[in-house]
Amino acid sequence: MTMMTPSPLEQQQEDEEMLVPHQELSTADAAQPMEVVAQTEPTNTAESQAPEDPQTSRFTWTIENFTRVSGKKHYSDVFVVGGFKWRVLIFPKGNNVDHLSMYLDVADSGNLPYGWSRYAQFSLAIVNQIHQKYTARKDTQHQFNARESDWGFTSFMPLSELYDPSRGYLVNDTVVVEAEVAVRKMIDYWTYDSKKETGYVGLKNQGATCYMNSLLQTLYHIPYFRKAVYHMPTTENDMPSGSIPLALQSLFYKLQYSDNSVATKELTKSFGWDTYDSFMQHDVQELNRVLCEKLEDKMKGTVVEGTIEQLFEGHHINYIECINVDYKSNRKESFYDLQLDVKGCRDVYASFDKYVEVERLEGDNKYQAEQHGLQDARKGVLFLDFPPVLQLQLKRFEYDYMRDTMVKINDRYEFPLQLDLDKDDGKYLTPDADRSIRNLYTLHSVLVHSGGVHGGHYYAFIRPTLSDQWYKFDDERVTKEDTKKALEEQYGGEEELPQVNPGFNNTPFKFTKYSNAYMLVYIRESDKEKIMCNVDEKDIAEHLRIRLKKEQEEKEHKKKEKAEAHLYTIIKVARDEDLKEQIGKNIYFDLVDHEKVRNFRIQKQLPFNSFKEEVAKEYGIPVQSQRFWLWAKRQNHTYRPNRPLAPHEEAQSVGQLREVSNKAHNAELKLFLEVELGLDLRPIRPPEKSKEDILLFFKLYNPEKEELRFVGRLFVKALGKPSDILTKLNEMAGFSPNEEIELYEEIKFEPNVMCEHIDKKLSFRSSQLEDGDIISFQKPSIPGGDTQVRYKDVPSFLEYVHNRQVVHFRCLEKPKEEEFCLELSKLHTYDDVVERVARQLGLDDPSKVRLTSHNCYSQQPKPQPIRYRGVEHLLDMLVHYNQTSDILYYEVLDIPLPELQCLKTLKVAFHHATKDEHQAFEE
């Protein structure tokens, strides 16, 4: 996605609720937890500030003998604010930095109930004991909870400044710390029911999607837009994850009729976002434009064609007017939203004044007018018309050239409840604009960003019916709010909290508001009735109602199952048929993948014999013909059928048997069903098993076909020898009775394959074979035979399977498109891999192939390619941290890679002799 102007939020790579800056940026002004822990779940800001003033207190901590403080951490005494216990935590020598580290800490966090949280605005200061005005003070705000019970500044001030006696912070080995804390009241997040309290439900946060949630809630609460989305043609064969219209219809339907918060995963999948993209901070304005463009395209040729333009599209005229000659140039442009300056503007009207401000083109900046040459001119913008729904993007983020970084503008910026764009005789409009349309707007929603430029949280204040009642949509939670909270408290700027002891001439506690509006949505008064229309079930396609009703029923069913889960257990039953179906296809090692066998959900109180009747109904195997074996996990991490169930065990309940067999509270019960067939292929009673009988499983390997398959199982005598059963094995394999065969025991496959040759003259017991063991056999390989095979025996074949890797290759210029795939070995060398790729591409010189590894988290190529012979094996190319990818990117070079790597980068700079211009090129 591209934009005409760079988006400040494209830089954001962190989870939005953590105000922790990138390491390469300055941390001086960013509040952060004492220890930064990566969050895998979104943290919901739980503050819902009461309209009354917060409870505020100032605490002074005098630390004597400061340089003698022992230990890495040092806590203050406990003080109470808002009925809560607090303390200050400092690291006198820094928390792994060369700065003093200082935090506000919840003193009794270890004793608080599960799910506790509290919200506070606070400042921390090191008092300058020589010059009060140089006191070092920083302020922030935070939602404290069990995971983040302390918050503050890791780099509060340089240790060199603190310990310098001339600076005034350390005087007579004494340091004075001040903390001012304002605690606001909260709603109990854990018991709060949004639908019950407000009639509306929220949207679940996928990790960093609160910016999207605030926008979706805003669009949903424009009823005309919602009705148009419902009327977009979709069918019952569409899948929400592949159709933006259907995903949006589904989302809006659930917001309208669900009792609980709604997930957005289907919608983000329809955008083409994978999991990683959902955890990326995207730009709201960009998302709004892309979403509207896609919907606009999908609406073409339907009954709702043109809806997006009708709602959101306005037009302005870019003009250039010569001063001294009669020449004027006009260009009409459309807009769906307007970007207004915040910096240097006190309110929305000042931003519009700046938007239409006339620029003079004169001197070296004269305008080249057709047939008139260079002329003095006036350049500006005026509006031809405004849309019914006016979206204003406030430019809260800008690039600071002095600091070479993005910064957030937290200046105070006011916006009215009623916006009159016809003021001052329509000074924002062109002379030929339609003056019969009254451009008086009422505020519908305020989208808010709370935090800094490199992280933060988003939520929205919305008037769904344009009444006096505002609602705050904060991810999953919706709360009622007053007008002051929705407007004045989102202006930004500084907030001055009440003084603790006014009579003592204390400095007021001023707190910079990091929560402020960044997007406003106004609705034109004359279009209000049309836009704020009724939307009911008849506006929703029947197939959509049926689909979503079915989804709701399935959800309720799963919810019921979950509530009753403690009454049931899962029994997984593997049979000979499963082994035949899976071995050589889905698996090669072991006997079966238990995730792909038949599951039975059985009540724990049910007698096991009753379960056998269920099996009889399922498979048509009489109860008396069933014998079940328990699987056991061995020390080498393989699973094998261990022993058959005893009669007294089958008399127990399913729950009792599960507990005995697994010795774990919630483990599943895994069983192997042994069934013997008579001459007529009907199930018969299994033979009695003595202590001398061993149950072995057999696989057959064909070197020519490179095929391994399950051929059956046998009971053998412990003191018997493999030579005793060769005739039977030949029969199972379809060989002649006297065929010579070699036997191997499959022992384990992780981390390395262990498959050992079996001496046919030794007894099974001497070979340490026991119940559940696996023997693979084959015809012996013939050295120098006519048929050439790649893997002559079972061990070499299993070694190949263990290291086999299908790699999907993509052209680096088209990183989303798969070009071809190759079956390789993880042990292949760098040269082996590029040679195979060159052969696939028809290249004579493999050294012209350059490979780049895949980043499993970003789903993109890594920034640096693989150097020539820079890795030993294919596995090294595929491993990314603790994950293994199956994707590699390739590019074909004009010269061999070793030669390219020897070239040096040369930067050439040009300076224009007459103009103060610079240009630079790299070769």
Which residue in this structure is represented by tokens 């072991």? 590
Considering the domain architecture, whether residues 787 and 699 belong to the same structural domain is answered as yes
Does the structure show a pLDDT above 90 at 591? yes
Q: For residue 302, what pLDDT is reported?
A: 86
Note the pLDDT of residue 212: 85
Residue scoring higher pLDDT (282 or 420): 420
Q: Averaged over 746-774, what is the pLDDT?
A: 92
The residue whose two tokens read 């979206």 is 391
User: What CATH number has the domain bearing residue 528?
Assistant: 3.90.70.10
Q: Within this chain, do residues 469 and 609 fall inside the same structural domain, yes or no?
A: no
In which band, very low, low, confident or very high, does the pLDDT at 12 lie, cut at 50, 70 and 90? very low
Q: Among 242-251, 265-274, 327-336, whose mean pLDDT is lowest?
A: 265-274
Domain boundary among 771, 796, 821: 796
Residue 915 binned pLDDT confidence (cut-offs 50, 70, 90)? low
Higher pLDDT, 443 or 500: 443
Tell whether the torsion through CA atoms of 103, 186, 196 and 284 is positive or negative: negative
Question: Structural domain of residue 368, as residue ranges?
Answer: 314-496+509-532
The pLDDT-based confidence of 719 (bands split at 50, 70, 90) is: very high
Rounded CA-CA distance 726/738 in Å is: 8
Residue 722 makes CB contacts below 8 A (sequence gap 6+) with 743, 758, 759, 760, 762, 764, 767
- Categorize the per-residue pLDDT at 498 as very low, low, confident or very high, splitting at 50, 70 and 90: low
In a domain, 330, yes or no: yes
In this prediction, residues 222-230 reach a mean pLDDT of: 93
The pLDDT score that the predictor gives to residue 287 is: 79
Mean pLDDT, range 705-709, rounded to an integer: 93
**Across residues 547-565, what is the average pLDDT?**
83
Query: Are 330 and 360 contained in the same domain?
Result: yes
3-state SS, 380-437, equals EEEEEECCCEEEEEEECEEEECCCCEEEECCCCCECCCEEECCHHHHCCECCCCCCCC
* Statement: residue 284 has pLDDT above 80: no
- The residues pairing with 707 across neighbouring beta strands, listed in sequence order, are 702
Q: Is residue 413 part of a domain?
A: yes
**Res 499: pLDDT:** 53
Catalytic residues: 210, 457
Quote the pLDDT of residue 452. Answer: 74
One domain, residues 418 and 518: yes
Whether 557 is covered by a domain: the verdict is: no
> Could you say which of 309, 325, 346 is where a domain stops?
309
* 756-772 average pLDDT score: 94
Alpha-carbon gap, residue 236 to 547, rounded angstroms:
8
What angle (nearest 5°) sits at the alpha carbon of residue 841, between those of residues 838 and 842? 80
User: Which has more confidence, 54 or 406?
Assistant: 406
Q: What are phi and psi of 542, to 5 degrees?
A: -60, -40
The answer to whether residues 410 and 491 touch, using CB atoms and an 8 Å cutoff, is no
Q: Confidence band (pLDDT; 50, 70, 90) for 21?
A: very low
The answer on 283 and 253 residing in a single domain is: yes
The residue type found at 863 is P
Least trusted range by pLDDT, from 335-344, 675-684, 887-896: 675-684
Of 836 and 663, the one with more pLDDT: 836
**Over residues 443-454, mean pLDDT:** 85
Q: What CATH number is associated with residue 734?
A: 3.10.20.90
**pLDDT above 70 as % of the chain:** 87
Confidence of residue 51 (pLDDT cuts 50, 70, 90): very low
Q: Is residue 416 domain-shared with residue 524, that is, in the same domain?
A: yes
Residues 808 and 792 in one domain: no
**Quick one: pLDDT at residue 28?**
37
Q: Residue 595 domain-assigned?
A: yes
Q: Is the pLDDT assigned to residue 101 strictly greater than 50?
A: yes
More confident position, 683 or 28: 683
Residue 361, pLDDT score: 93
Confidence (pLDDT) at 275: 42
Instruction: Compute the distance between CA of residue 564 and CA of residue 645 in angstroms, rounded to an integer.
Output: 28
Please count the structural domains in the chain.
Answer: 5
pLDDT over 80 (residue 173): yes
Give the pLDDT confidence of 328-351 residue by residue, as tens digits: 999 999 999 999 999 999 999 999
Q: Is residue 558 part of a domain?
A: no
Per DSSP, the residues of 485-513 read: HHTGGGS-SEEEEPPSSGGGTPPPEEEE-
pLDDT in the model for residue 786: 58
Question: Per-residue pLDDT for 391 more than 90?
Answer: yes
365 and 283 in a common domain: no
User: Is 464 contained in some domain?
Assistant: yes
Are the C-beta atoms of 887 and 851 separated by less than 8 Å?
A: no
pLDDT of residue 476: 87
Mean pLDDT within 159-166: 92
Lowest model confidence (mean pLDDT) among 217-231, 371-385, 529-543: 529-543
Residue with the larger pLDDT of the pair 233 and 284: 233
The mean of the pLDDT values for the chain is: 84
Higher pLDDT, 126 or 858: 126
As a whole-number percent, the residues of the chain with pLDDT over 90 amount to: 51
Same domain for 587 and 736, yes or no, is: yes
More confident site: 170 or 147: 170
Q: Is residue 106 part of a domain?
A: yes
pLDDT at res. 668: 80
Task: Give the pLDDT confidence score for residue 45 in this predicted structure.
Answer: 35
Based on the fold, state whether residues 779 and 694 are members of the same structural domain. Answer: yes
Task: For 178-225, write each residue's pLDDT tens digit.
Answer: 999 988 766 565 678 889 989 999 998 876 667 788 899 999 999 999
Using one digit for the tens of pLDDT, what is the confidence trace for 606-616? Answer: 999 999 999 99
CATH of the domain at 154: 2.60.210.10
Which has the higher per-residue pLDDT, 544 or 838?
838
Angle at 816 between CA 5 and CA 239, to 5 degrees: 95
Same domain, 372 and 447: yes
Contact 203, 475 (CB under 8 A): yes
Give the model's pLDDT for residue 17: 29
754: left (phi over 0), alpha (psi -120 to 50) or beta: beta
pLDDT band at 22 (very low <50, low <70, confident <90, very high): very low
**Own/partner pairs for 244-249, CB < 8 Å, 24+ apart?**
244/270, 244/271, 244/291, 244/294, 244/295, 244/298, 245/295, 245/298, 246/270, 246/544, 248/295, 249/540, 249/541, 249/544
Cβ neighbour number for residue 479 with a 10 Å cutoff: 19
Strand duo 693-702 + 774-778: pairing: parallel
Q: Which residues lie across from 79 on neighbouring strands? A: 86
Which of 276, 309, 342 is a domain's end point? 309
Query: 103-112, 269-278, 339-348, 858-867 — which is least confidently predicted?
Result: 269-278
Mean pLDDT value across residues 72-86: 92
Mean pLDDT for the stretch of residues 795-821: 91
Classify residue 40: in a domain, yes or no: no
Same domain, 763 and 821: no
User: What's the whole-number mean pLDDT along residues 578-606?
Assistant: 92
More confident position, 11 or 401: 401
- 757-782 average pLDDT score: 93
